[in-house]
Amino acid sequence: MILQPPPTRFVLRGALDAEQRDFLDTFGFLHFRGFASPAEVEEIRASLRAIEADWTQSGRQYVNGIPIRYGTGEDGAKLVNRFAFTSLFSPRLREFLAEPRWEAVRLACGEQFRLGDREKDGVVVNQFINVPGSRYKRLGWHVDSLRDLFYGRLPQPMLNVGLYLDDSHRDKGALRILPGSHRQGLFKMLFGKWHFIDHRDDPRETILEADAGDLTLHDGRAWHRVGRALLTGQASLRRTMYVPFLTGPYEPKSETSPVPFYHRFGKVLG
Ligand SMILES: O=C(O)CCC(=O)C(=O)O
Ligand SMILES: [Fe+2]
């Protein structure tokens, strides 16, 4: 029996307090409200539009060995479904990530963590849209830590920190988490569900409903998915920015970095 979490939205002020730590340990995620202001969210959206225009026009396929996922928007226009290393293309975004409040996020993860803006996939932005022809209407059940296994090591402690750039309530599909599943052990992490293929509702899932500017933090070992929006068209647009906080050896990527194995078949599953 999985305990359902209360819909608590915390305020981030620094390292986690005892109540927040307990919530994270029990359920595998935390939700903070009002981390970025509406003006900041709008600035980030503007940066994304500029990067998207640049990449679509120049036909860029990869950043530092990570494929950019393209898709179709409302009017049939090409759009970016998944940005990688986003902050490297926006001085405004780098300035925002240098704000002292990100130090509070880092400390919330733990003293030994660092913001990995040049590692793994860097700062990732997802754009989900529910229109005919869109390839990013939803994302199946998965655990983020599985990627570690492709690097030939056991999953490292990792917290995925998401900044919401749109309101994301259940009409947008929203993030679904199996609360407590970060404590399930390796076997269930591997075989608990079919990674990315299974999109089914689970009676144990929690729907994480967030507003633009909210910040969420989830354990890389927890099962989660993004549901399909009930809304359609532009109203269904759901943008989230994921900032990696990492431990272990510093492993920056560059334009000569190889394409990781898990991204070679990602196009088929995504
Ligand atoms: O957009 C989200 O909230 C989650 C996306 C996700 O789970 C992922 O990209 O691994
Ligand atoms: Fe994920």
pLDDT digits 0-9 by tens, 19-42: 999 999 999 999 999 999 999 999
Q: Whose CA is nearest to atom 7 of ligand 1?
A: 225
Does the CB atom of residue 224 touch ligand 1 within 6 A?
A: yes
Atom of ligand 1 minimally distant from the CA of 168: 3
What whole-number distance in Å separates Cα of residue 203 and Cα of residue 200? 10
List residues bridging with 217 in a β-sheet: 30, 161
What pLDDT score was predicted for residue 172? Answer: 97
Q: What is the CATH number that goes with domain 28-249+261-269? A: 2.60.120.620
Smallest Cα–Cα separation from 115: which of 102, 126, 125, 124? 102
Positions in the chain short of pLDDT 70: 1-2, 151-153, 155, 157, 265-270
Q: Whose CA is nearest to atom 8 of ligand 1?
A: 144
Q: Which ligand does the CA of 210 lie closest to?
A: 1
What pLDDT score was predicted for residue 129? Answer: 97
Q: Are the CB atoms for 110 and 202 separated by under 8 Å?
A: no
What pLDDT score was predicted for residue 52? Answer: 98
For the chain, the structural domain boundaries read 28-249+261-269
How many helices (H) does the chain have, and how many strands (E)? 8, 14
pTM: 0.94
Atom of ligand 1 minimally distant from the CA of 82: 9
